[in-house]
Amino acid sequence: MYDLIIIGGGPAGTAAAIYAARAELDFIVIEGSMMPGGQVLTTSDVDNYPGLPGVGGFELGTKFAEHARTLGTRFVTENVLSMKAEGSIKSVTTEKNTYESRSIIIATGAVHRKAGVKGEEEYAGRGVSYCATCDGAFFRNKVTAVVGGGDVALEDALYLSRLCRKVYLIHRRNEFRAAKSLVSKARQAENIEFVLDSVVEEVKGENKVSSVALRNKKTDARNELAVDGVFFAVGMQPVTAYIDEAVARDEAGYIIAAEDCCTNIRGVYAAGDIRTKQLRQIVTAAADGANAVASVEKYLQ
């Protein structure tokens, strides 16, 4: 039996591994992918990780895993099917084995909801993005589009308006789910243009995004907007299908946990994008990994 099982090998999981190794805990990291690192591996450039401006996402993700390995971390490449959270002995079942531990850190993150638009997958990382604060700096003085109608979409549009020459805010309705204050601010921004009652039918380009094809839902009219990038803000989805139902989650499915990463179950912790938090970024995920292990140490003692 282990002291700790870490589920997920992204920034939160690898940071937790580094701190667990330094604390001399007996632990493993279970990661479904052959290459630990998480979503950052598919990000072309990361411009907001302290001390490493412009580092490649693949490079940063592999460095996280390499650092953990140099400290003796054992990565187990298996897909988790279920976990048992309650009781003093926890268990994690994969398609191959069942592992037992005194504590668990859940760090499988969240994935961006895809819009399902033609060209979306093809141009991911080449003009298609899901995070304005992550990638906005690469579109400075360029033309971008934000797709969505919630708080995140409006916040992304406002953020990009401070960097980009022009921002199109595309929404399938003529009313927004976002807070009225955000909508008011967006309307006051001179370089944000609202494109309402419209849906993106295709992202176009050659080597990178050059335009989006739109259809007006009321008139069925079609047109095309020239853009350098398109940010889809249609929501996030935490990866929680395998998690014990006893672990408390909010309405959106995120595990309820504060800065100490403690869940409602003693000995079970949530770190990174999978937990309730204000900002989901690489740096906050790494911080969660450290905090989670600090909580684990207190629990085990």
The residue extents of the domains of the chain are 4-112+236-300, 128-232
Exposed/middle/buried for residue 13 (C-beta within 10 Å: 0-12, 13-18, 19+): buried
Where residue 301 falls among pLDDT bands split at 50, 70, 90? Answer: very high
* Tokens, residue 296: 């684990």
User: Are the CB atoms for 39 and 111 separated by under 8 Å?
Assistant: yes
pLDDT average, residue stretch 228-245: 92
Confirm whether 47 is a catalytic residue: no
Catalytic one of 131, 164, 261, 262: 131
Q: Which CATH superfamily is domain 128-232 in?
A: FAD/NAD(P)-binding domain (3.50.50.60)
Mean of per-residue pLDDT scores for the chain: 93
Confirm whether 164 is a catalytic residue: no
Confirm whether 131 is a catalytic residue: yes
pTM of the model: 0.74
| Sequence-distant contacts of 17-24: CB under 8 A, at least 24 apart | 17/68, 17/71, 17/73, 17/289, 18/67, 18/68, 18/71, 18/73, 18/289, 19/289, 19/290, 19/293, 19/294, 20/73, 20/293, 20/296, 21/68, 21/71, 21/72, 21/73, 22/71, 23/293, 23/297
Tell me if 4-112+236-300 shares its fold with 128-232: yes
- Residue 113: its pLDDT value, please? 85
pLDDT average, residue stretch 259-275: 97
Sign of the torsion formed by the C-alpha atoms of 115, 12, 249 and 27: positive
The kind and range of the H/E element at 70 are helix 57-70
For the domain covering 4-112+236-300, report its CATH number. Answer: 3.50.50.60
- pLDDT for 148-185, tens place per residue? 998 889 989 999 999 999 999 999 999 998 889 999 99
Catalytic one of 3, 45, 47, 134: 134
